[in-house]
Amino acid sequence: MIPQYASALFISDLHLTPSMPLTAQRFFDFCEKDAPKVEAVFILGDLFEYWVGDDAAQHSPFQQEVKHALATLSTKVKTYYLHGNRDFLVGKHFLSKTGMTFMPDPSKINIAGSEYVLCHGDSLCTADIGYQVFRGWVRKAWIQKLFLKLPLKWRRSIANHLRNNSGV
């Protein structure tokens, strides 16, 4: 069934990180002031600069603050989450704690009688064959399970390496 709403807001690619407090504050203001005015909020990926597993959020006061803002927002408005290229490891635990609903990439929605297809932009980088192959691999459940078994320090190191060497 296609979600249908009269009004919605969309955000994408905020790349939230403690090192960018102005962006973070704007996000918190959005959650508190703007987002509750509509029926649904769609987060279309890369909310975080990177996400190396739901367990990592337990060790980050910043990610706990974001989680709290999302949980509060989700009590006021239906909130959806679609993975991006930097936060595709956002999992069921985080979604459950925030009250958000997962949306697969791509997904159809209906806003005010018009249908839209939502996706994260990296899926449209079709000319970058190497990236699309990489994307296909890292989205496989068994690869993600293996990665999440690595020590948190290693996962952060790998994420930083990929981030620093990424064109996407």
Distance CA 111, CA 5 (A): 5
Query: What pLDDT score does 153 carry?
Result: 96
For each of the chain's 168 residues, which pLDDT tens digit applies?
889 999 999 999 999 999 999 999 999 999 999 999 999 999 999 999 999 999 999 889 999 999 999 999 999 999 999 999 999 999 999 999 999 999 999 999 999 999 999 999 999 999 999 999 999 999 999 999 999 999 999 999 999 998 888 765
User: Could you list the residue range(s) of the whole structural domain that residue 115 is in?
Assistant: 4-164
Query: What pLDDT score does 1 carry?
Result: 81
What does pTM read for this prediction?
Answer: 0.94
Residue whose entry in the numeric block shows the structure tokens 């990665």: 147
Distance CA 55, CA 30 (A): 26
Query: What pLDDT score does 167 carry?
Result: 64
Residues 35/66, Cβ–Cβ less than 8 Å: no
Angle between helices 129-138 and 141-149 (to 10 degrees): 70
- Check which CATH number belongs to the domain holding 122 and give it: 3.60.21
Q: Count up the domains in the chain and report the number.
A: 1
